[in-house]
């Protein structure tokens, strides 16, 4: 009858010391309790309204109790919402968590920060009825199509005034903002501040008027500053932030932006110093390109096709530098496995043939060149490997195959082994960086553990096994700074562990043969091309069957 | 039909109704005439009557009958002809609440609750707030205690209904012999039958408010005469006279000069806006040109008869008068084509403590009332100076506004002992009045930064206080359901306006100072004569608590905003709503007319400032009189703020709109 059950009344009675309350009395009291509570809430809502708020707070209820000449309930004045806890064993019983506070604790605790004092900030909400696009104002419905606008206005009747489009005037604040950001991007002296600026670029509203200026700025600086690695990196970060900002519609400017971005991906030379890690920049830009394609591919149908065409052309042009090839491969790889399968894998064979002489230590004496070549090889392997892994992992995991299968596989692997070893030795002689070594260590690890026959241990083994070759490399790689090496190896480890995770994925070979001959063929082809280096990408069971 | 049986019914009925004497007499009478059928009462022979009697005796104690007959009536009304349906459905709500209250009154709490819950959906859309109130009524004593319920029980609801709908209803009730419903309808509804076609459903604003007993009195009161004309010899008149003497070129110069002055003020508060303000200046001129034409048009409309002030008004010093005249001369003429600029004062770091904000008439002072009983006054011009002073390199008389610690850039006024609910500046900006939950009103001087007077008189929190347009007098309103008129030099109120049925939430002066308007939680707005203290108008139509009021500068119209976000425009002379302005979806905290009355600005808890064109409304009302409904008012612009509910609005005399609000963290 009342929303207050009689049990509640009984509990309240007990809490104030009345133990012998008759159930009938409780039943009679319940509706009155409800009425009083509603009455208090009605007054509390009035207090809330007059405090110009739309959420009821404990102080409003206190105010309402005051109005009714009732002692307010103390101890609920804190601003934080109450944390109700469920009483164990009861379904609907809750209580507020009342922590015991130690006086010592309170006294010894450092004084809390003084709250900021109230202040007034003044800005223009509108000028002549038009809201200026400044950060203080809520984001506007950005740039409506004029045609739409007109239709809308006509609907409103003849009374409406049709305003001509406002001439694009950039407010002083925005100009300052732009200048500041541009300075930060150029100066590279204060990375912390630049980071803040990027956050602001990625989140602030009202920046839309600046977008054309930014695209222009980026295009200019990229074409001018190809030798300045840090600048390029900063610019790419700026692009990324602009893409992230939800208040900015960047599509109309993409055509201006894309050439600079692609330049940073496949340019022959980025930065002028040896220590400039342009590989990182290319990786970053590749992700950026992928982001753009993902976001705006649907709007700009030709975007991805044009992009891939550019990249494939860069890749297949043997006259282009290896760094360019690397960028193209990373760009394609970032665009997704389908792109890799269609464009990269199909061109894999001729390209690897092209790359072969560069990889060979005897033929290629130039260390930088050889380093680049291995870098390209690594990227290619990673792209192909991830692609094939993606193909394979879609098959549902089935019970693992019989050990005899594994045994069969083992034999073959052993057969290939000598050749493998030779390769890895070659590369270590060449003082190739860690990353490439690792890509080769992987198969080694697989082999060795296959020897031991402990299939489930696959995850750990490669990591353990990579230690000896690492040691062998480090002394000889004296030319490189040890720092770089360290970071490289860390990089390698991360990638390695990712691959290991992939290895644990289980699927069944039967599925491959039956369901998708394609991927089988692909696998065979990749294996032919890469030898065993592709194996870490392949779920172990499939691999064993395949072998 | 067995006469004995009937006798039993009758006796039982009488007993139940408490007529024990009559029942006894009747029994005696029957005993005397035992066996003989010489009954002088003909109810034995009238089958209709016996049926009725029987139904009477049956139904009394049966709570389920309410439900049955109500649901029957309901389904009948819903299935009736479309043309008449909305009129018949209008009957349902009073029937519903009275059924519920009958059930409660008879102690069938359980059934009452069940009945209420099963049908409340039908009425929630229009009557949500009433239902929420009634829902809590669970025992007969609550019915007695609750004002709203009592007034519902006592009074009859007026429902306008066309002849045919009325006939349909009566036919239905008779045919189905639902005497219960018939009884309720007879008891609580007063039909105003008119001939002709039913009205369209949108025009039934009055039908949605059940206002208790004062519907009739309201109609009566609204007959009274009010004189809404402006005062004789107002400043505007003087402006017309002096303004006419000025040649156009002179005017233009004055404008540019003043534009500069305006500019410099703004520059002091807003650094780096020069470009825009110069642009503004140009546009001002253009706006003025168009507005002059508009003024010519409007001047052909005969102005309302001027009235004499009923209060002794304070004398204005010539300096002040000159500056006001100067402002008026340079006022930007606003219209639907010439929009105002809006300067927004955002309070930051309020920690949810800002209860009210107020802006002085020239926009230079901003006061905030806080829930920690403090009032803080900012002088925006000085803040701007201290900022620009550094730029210009002249650190002149930047004296101690900061107070002892020197860092604070506002004046802290302490004195209240409860949350401050309202603050208002006197027209020249030299005084501030504040009202608080501690039931007092305090007068502060902005020159001395000190409390001057404490006015005690209200018995409950004072929700609102407003200076009169000429200063000196002020009006306050309170939870004690009264509004009071005060003058600055007396600590006792001059008048007490009593009559609202619930809290008086807001108060506003009429431009001619002879009337005040009050908005209340009883969902009405009332207009009071200041001199006599009488209520002269009741405006019925809001569906929830009235939170803000504004009077048009010509004194003819009033706007009121409520908790739901509806703004209503009222014609003071007819007490009719011209049109509701829908658009806000949360409380309308603040309303303000532009200087010449062509625009209405509204600020709301939904974090927007809206501008409404109200000139077209005044035209269309005239058109309406001729050719029916040609609609109406329209929303011109919506300015969303960045999660800042708009607490206060003020058009400066030059028609720059100031708005203020506290930045509140968006709910994450």
The answer to whether A122 contacts B276, with C-beta atoms less than 8 Å apart, is no
* A28 lies in some domain: yes
User: Which comes out higher in pLDDT, residue A509 or B596?
Assistant: B596
User: Which comes out higher in pLDDT, residue A68 or A453?
Assistant: A68
Reduced 3-state DSSP string for A455-487: HHHHHCHHHHHCHHHHHHHHHHCCCCCHHHHHH
* Helices and strands: H and E segment counts in chain B: 18, 29
User: Which comes out higher in pLDDT, residue B562 or A438?
Assistant: B562
Biggest alpha carbon–alpha carbon distance for chain A: 103
Q: Which residues contact A306 (CB under 8 A, 6 or more apart)?
A: none
Calculate how close chain B gets to A252, using CA atoms only, in Å: 26
Cross-chain CB nearest to B642 (options A42, A79, A138): A138
For B260-263, the CB contacts below 8 A with 24+ separation are B262/B330, B262/B654, B262/B656
CATH of B341-383+408-617+633-662, one of 2.60.40.420, 3.30.70.2740, 2.130.10.10, 3.40.1160.10: 2.130.10.10
CATH class assigned to B61-194: mainly alpha
pLDDT tens profile B333-363:
888 788 899 999 999 888 888 999 999 998 8
Same-domain status, A183 and A327: yes
Q: How far is CA B499 from the centre of its chain?
A: 15
Q: What is the mean pLDDT of residues A499-513?
A: 48
Tokens of residue B429, six digits? 């900006």
**CB contacts, 8 Å: B563 with chain A:** 49
A-chain residue closest to B363, CA distance: A122
Residues A417 and A404 sit within 8 Å (Cβ to Cβ): no
Q: What is the mean pLDDT of residues B53-59?
A: 59
Q: What is the DSSP letter of A534?
A: G
How many CB atoms sit inside 10 A of residue A255's CB? 11
| A495 pLDDT more than 80 | no
Residue B519 phi/psi, 5-degree rounding, is -110, 145
pLDDT reported for residue A492: 46
- A143: region left, alpha or beta (phi > 0 left; psi from -120 to 50 alpha): left
How many CB atoms sit inside 10 A of residue B638's CB? 15
Q: What is the DSSP string of B343-400?
A: EEEEEES-TT-EEEEEE-TTS-EEEEEETTS-EEEEEHHHHHHHHHHHHHT------S
* Reported confidence tier of residue A81, pLDDT bands at 50, 70, 90: low
How many CB atoms sit inside 10 A of residue B421's CB? 26
**What is the Cα–Cα distance from B284 to B2, expressed in whole angstroms?**
93
B-chain residue closest to A159, CA distance: B336
pLDDT reported for residue B600: 92
B-chain residue closest to A162, CA distance: B337
Overall domain count for chain A: 2
Calculate how close chain A gets to B505, using CA atoms only, in Å: 8
* A145 lies in some domain: no
pLDDT tens profile B597-630:
889 999 999 999 999 988 765 554 444 444 434 3
Q: Where are the domains of chain B?
A: 61-194, 341-383+408-617+633-662
Choice among B54-58, B337-341, B473-477 with the minimum mean pLDDT: B54-58
> How many angstroms separate the first and last alpha carbons of chain B?
74
**What is the Cα–Cα distance from A469 to B337, expressed in whole angstroms?**
80
Same-domain status, A207 and A67: no
**CB contacts, 8 Å: B137 with chain A:** 35
Hunting for tokens 């012999």 — which residue is that?
Answer: B177
Q: Peptide bond preceding B248: is omega within 30 degrees of 0, i.e. cis?
A: no
Q: How many residues does chain A have?
A: 547
Choice among A28-37, B375-384, B630-639 with the minimum mean pLDDT: B630-639
Calculate how close chain A gets to B130, using CA atoms only, in Å: 12
Q: Which residues contact A378 (CB under 8 A, 6 or more apart)?
A: A435, A436, A439
Of A55, A78, A101, which residue constitutes the final position of a domain? A78
Cross-chain CB nearest to B642 (options A130, A136, A176): A136
User: How many CA within 13 A on the CB side of residue B69?
Assistant: 24
Provide the mean pLDDT of chain A. Answer: 69
**CB contacts, 8 Å: B370 with chain A:** 118
Calculate how close chain B gets to A185, using CA atoms only, in Å: 24
Residue A72 belongs to domain with CATH number:
1.10.20.10
Residue A176 belongs to domain with CATH number:
1.25.40.770
**CB contacts, 8 Å: A32 with chain B:** 138-139, 142
User: Which comes out higher in pLDDT, residue B288 or A217?
Assistant: A217
ipTM for this prediction:
0.74
Reduced 3-state DSSP string for A3-31: CCCHHHHHHHHHHCCCCCCCHHHHHHHHH
Same-domain status, A181 and A309: yes
Cross-chain CB nearest to B138 (options A35, A121, A130): A35
Same-domain status, A65 and A189: no
**What is the Cα–Cα distance from B140 to A32, expressed in whole angstroms?**
11
**CB contacts, 8 Å: A42 with chain B:** 133
Handedness of CA B184, B186, B192, B196 (dihedral sign): positive
Q: How many residues does chain B have?
A: 668
Q: Which residues contact A326 (CB under 8 A, 6 or more apart)?
A: A279, A282, A372, A375, A376, A379
Strands B375-379 and B365-370: antiparallel
| A471 pLDDT more than 50 | no
Reduced 3-state DSSP string for A137-161: CCCCCCCCCHHHHHHHHHHCCCCCC
| B439 pLDDT more than 70 | yes
* Reported confidence tier of residue B592, pLDDT bands at 50, 70, 90: very high
The answer to whether A50 contacts B505, with C-beta atoms less than 8 Å apart, is yes
Q: Which residues contact B102 (CB under 8 A, 6 or more apart)?
A: B66, B184
Domain span including residue A19: 6-78
Same-domain status, A287 and A177: yes
**What is the Cα–Cα distance from B662 to B351, expressed in whole angstroms?**
9
| B379 pLDDT more than 50 | yes
pLDDT tens profile A83-134:
778 887 777 777 877 778 888 888 888 888 888 888 888 888 888 888 887 8
Using CA atoms, how far residue B289 sits from A153, B248, B294, in Å, is 25, 11, 9
Q: What is the DSSP letter of B273?
A: -
Of A56, A78, A100, which residue constitutes the final position of a domain? A78
Q: How far is CA B376 from the centre of its chain?
A: 28
pLDDT reported for residue B343: 92
* A303 lies in some domain: yes
Element (H, E) at B560: strand B557-562
Residues B655 and B595 sit within 8 Å (Cβ to Cβ): yes
User: What are the b/e assignments for A196-229, b being 16+ CB within 10 Å?
Assistant: ebbebbbebbbbbbbbeebbebbbebbeebbebb
Residues A372 and A432 sit within 8 Å (Cβ to Cβ): no
Same-domain status, A57 and A200: no
Three-state SS for B541?
coil
**What is the Cα–Cα distance from B236 to A50, expressed in whole angstroms?**
35
**What is the Cα–Cα distance from A20 to A13, expressed in whole angstroms?**
9
Q: What is the mean pLDDT of residues B395-404?
A: 38
Residues A512 and A395 sit within 8 Å (Cβ to Cβ): yes
Q: Which residues contact B139 (CB under 8 A, 6 or more apart)?
A: A31, A32, A35, B104, B107, B109
Q: What is the DSSP string of B215-256?
A: HHHHHHHTTS----PPBTT-HHHHHHHHHHHS-HHHHHHHHH
pLDDT tens profile A358-376:
776 666 667 777 777 777 8
Same-domain status, A72 and A193: no
Q: What is the mean pLDDT of residues B391-397?
A: 35
How many CB atoms sit inside 10 A of residue A317's CB? 12
| A158 pLDDT more than 90 | no
Calculate how close chain A gets to B27, using CA atoms only, in Å: 38
* A474 lies in some domain: no
Residues B637 and B312 sit within 8 Å (Cβ to Cβ): no
**CB contacts, 8 Å: B376 with chain A:** 118
Nearest to A405 by CA among A542, A535, A312: A542
Nearest to B421 by CA among B479, B481, B456, B370: B370
The answer to whether A125 contacts B641, with C-beta atoms less than 8 Å apart, is yes
The answer to whether A129 contacts B636, with C-beta atoms less than 8 Å apart, is yes
B163-176 and B82-105 helices, crossing angle to 10°: 50
* Reported confidence tier of residue B252, pLDDT bands at 50, 70, 90: very low
The answer to whether A53 contacts B352, with C-beta atoms less than 8 Å apart, is yes
Provide the mean pLDDT of chain B. Answer: 77
């Amino acid at each position: 009858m009342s929303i207050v059950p009689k049990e509640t009344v009984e509990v309240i009675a007990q809490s104030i010391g009345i133990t012998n309350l008759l159930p009938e009395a409780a039943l009679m009291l319940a509706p009155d309790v409800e009425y009083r509570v509603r009455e208090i809430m009605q007054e509390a809502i009035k207090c809330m309204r007059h405090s110009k708020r739309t959420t009821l707070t404990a102080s409003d209820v206190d105010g309402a109790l005051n109005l009714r000449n009732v002692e307010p309930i103390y101890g609920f004045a804190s601003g934080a919402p109450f944390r109700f806890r469920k009483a164990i064993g009861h379904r609907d019983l809750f209580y507020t968590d009342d922590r015991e506070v130690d006086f010592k604790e309170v006294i010894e605790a450092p004084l809390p920060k003084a709250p900021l004092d109230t202040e007034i900030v003044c800005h223009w909400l509108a000028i002549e009825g038009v809201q200026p696009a400044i950060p203080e104002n809520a984001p506007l419905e950005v740039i409506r199509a004029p045609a739409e606008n007109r239709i809308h206005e006509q609907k409103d009747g003849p009374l409406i005034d049709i305003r001509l489009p406002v001439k694009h005037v950039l407010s002083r604040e925005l100009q300052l903002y732009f200048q500041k950001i541009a300075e930060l991007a150029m100066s590279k002296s204060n990375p912390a501040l630049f980071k803040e600026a990027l956050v602001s670029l990625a989140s602030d509203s009202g920046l839309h008027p600046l977008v054309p200026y930014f695209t222009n700025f980026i295009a200019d600086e990229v074409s001018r500053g190809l030798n300045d690695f840090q600048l390029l990196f900063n610019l790419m970060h700026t692009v990324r932030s602009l893409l992230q900002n939800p208040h900015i519609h960047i599509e109309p400017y993409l055509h201006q932006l894309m050439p600079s971005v692609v330049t940073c991906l496949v340019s022959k030379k980025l930065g002028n110093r040896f220590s400039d890690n342009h590989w990182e920049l290319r990786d970053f830009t590749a992700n950026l390109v992928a982001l753009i394609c993902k976001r705006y591919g649907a709007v700009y149908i030709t975007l991805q096709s044009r992009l891939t065409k550019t990249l494939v052309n860069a890749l297949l042009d043997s006259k282009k530098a290896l760094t360019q090839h690397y960028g193209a491969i990373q760009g394609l790889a970032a665009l997704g496995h389908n792109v890799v399968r269609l464009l990269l894998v199909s061109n894999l064979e001729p390209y690897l043939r092209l790359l072969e002489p560069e990889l060979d230590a005897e033929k290629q004496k130039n260390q930088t060149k050889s380093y680049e070549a291995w870098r390209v090889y690594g990227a290619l392997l990673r792209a192909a490997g991830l692609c094939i892994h993606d193909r394979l992992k879609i098959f549902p995991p089935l019970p693992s195959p019989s050990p005899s299968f594994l045994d069969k596989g083992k034999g073959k692997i052993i057969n290939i082994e000598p050749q493998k070893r030779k390769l890895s030795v070659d590369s270590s002689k060449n003082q190739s960086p860690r990353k490439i070594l690792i890509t080769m260590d992987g198969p080694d690890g697989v082999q060795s553990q296959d020897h031991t026959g402990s299939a489930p241990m696959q995850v750990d083994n490669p990591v353990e096994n990579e230690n000896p070759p690492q040691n062998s490399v480090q002394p000889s790689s004296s030319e490189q700074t040890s720092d770089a090496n360290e970071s490289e190896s860390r990089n390698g480890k991360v990638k390695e562990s990712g691959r290991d995770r992939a290895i644990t994925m289980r699927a069944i070979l039967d599925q491959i043969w039956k369901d998708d001959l394609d991927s089988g063929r692909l696998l065979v082809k990749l294996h032919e091309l890469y030898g065993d280096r592709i194996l870490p990408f392949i779920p172990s069971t499939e691999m064993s069957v395949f072998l | 039909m067995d006469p004995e049986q009937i006798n039993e019914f009758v006796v039982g009925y009488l007993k139940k109704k408490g007529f024990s004497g009559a029942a006894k007499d009747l029994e005696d009478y029957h005993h005397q005439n035992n066996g003989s059928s010489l009954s002088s009462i003909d109810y034995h022979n009238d089958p209709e009557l016996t049926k009725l009697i029987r139904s009477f005796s049956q139904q009394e104690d049966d709570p389920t009958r309410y439900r049955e007959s109500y649901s029957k009536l309901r389904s009948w009304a819903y299935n009736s002809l479309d043309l008449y349906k909305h009129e018949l459905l209008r009957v349902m709500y009073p029937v519903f609440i009275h059924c519920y209250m009958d059930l409660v009154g008879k102690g069938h709490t359980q059934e009452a609750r069940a009945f209420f819950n099963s049908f409340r959906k039908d009425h929630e859309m229009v009557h949500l707030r009433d239902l929420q109130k009634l829902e809590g009524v669970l025992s007969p004593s609550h019915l007695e205690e609750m004002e709203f319920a009592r007034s519902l029980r006592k009074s009859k609801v007026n429902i306008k209904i066309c002849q045919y709908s009325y006939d349909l209803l009566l036919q239905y009730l008779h045919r189905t012999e639902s005497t219960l419903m018939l009884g309720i309808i007879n008891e609580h509804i007063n039909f105003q039958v008119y001939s002709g076609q039913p009205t369209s459903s949108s025009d039934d604003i009055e039908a949605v408010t059940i206002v208790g007993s004062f519907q009739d009195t309201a109609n009566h009161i609204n007959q009274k005469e009010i004189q809404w004309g402006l005062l004789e010899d107002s400043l505007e008149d003087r402006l017309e006279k002096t303004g006419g003497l000025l040649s156009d070129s002179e005017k233009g110069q004055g404008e540019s000069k003043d534009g500069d002055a305006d500019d410099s003020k703004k520059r002091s508060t807003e650094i780096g806006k020069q470009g825009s303000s110069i642009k503004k200046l140009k546009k001002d001129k253009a706006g003025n040109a168009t507005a002059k034409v508009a003024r010519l048009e409007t001047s052909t409309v005969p102005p309302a008869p001027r009235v004499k002030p009923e209060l002794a008004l304070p004398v204005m010093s010539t300096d002040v008068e000159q500056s006001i005249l100067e402002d008026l001369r340079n006022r930007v003429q606003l219209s639907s084509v010439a929009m105002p600029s809006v300067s927004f004062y955002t309070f930051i770091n309020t920690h949810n403590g800002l209860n009210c904000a107020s802006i002085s008439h020239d926009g230079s002072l901003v006061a905030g009332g806080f829930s920690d009983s403090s009032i803080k006054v900012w002088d925006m011009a000085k803040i701007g100076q201290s900022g620009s002073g550094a730029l210009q390199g002249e650190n002149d008389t930047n004296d101690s506004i900061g107070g002892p610690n020197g860092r604070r850039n506002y004046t802290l006024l302490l004195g209240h002992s409860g949350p401050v609910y309202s603050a208002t500046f006197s027209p020249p900006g030299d005084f501030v009045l504040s009202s608080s939950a501690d039931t007092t009103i305090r007068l502060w001087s902005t020159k001395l930064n000190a409390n001057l007077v404490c006015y005690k008189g209200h018995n409950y929190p004072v929700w609102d206080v407003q200076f009169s347009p000429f200063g000196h007098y002020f009006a306050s309103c309170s939870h004690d359901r009264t509004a009071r008129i005060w003058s600055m030099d007396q600590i006792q109120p001059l008048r007490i306006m009593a009559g609202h049925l619930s809290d008086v939430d807001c108060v506003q002066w009429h431009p001619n100072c002879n009337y005040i308007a009050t908005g209340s939680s009883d969902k009405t707005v009332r207009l009071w004569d200041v001199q006599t203290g009488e209520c002269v108008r009741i405006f019925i139509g809001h569906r929830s608590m009235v939170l803000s009021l504004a009077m048009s500068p010509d004194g003819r119209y009033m706007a009121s905003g409520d908790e739901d976000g509806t703004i209503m425009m009222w014609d003071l002379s007819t007490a009719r709503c011209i049109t509701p302005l829908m658009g806000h979806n949360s409380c309308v905290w603040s309303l303000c007319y532009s200087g010449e009355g062509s625009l209405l600005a509204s600020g709301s808890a939904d974090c927007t400032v809206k501008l409404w064109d109200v000139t077209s409304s005044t035209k269309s009302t005239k058109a309406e009189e001729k050719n029916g409904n040609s609609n109406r008012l329209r929303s011109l612009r919506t300015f969303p703020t960045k999660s800042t509910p708009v607490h206060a609005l003020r058009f400066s005399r030059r028609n720059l709109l100031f708005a203020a609000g506290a930045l509140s963290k968006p709910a994450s």
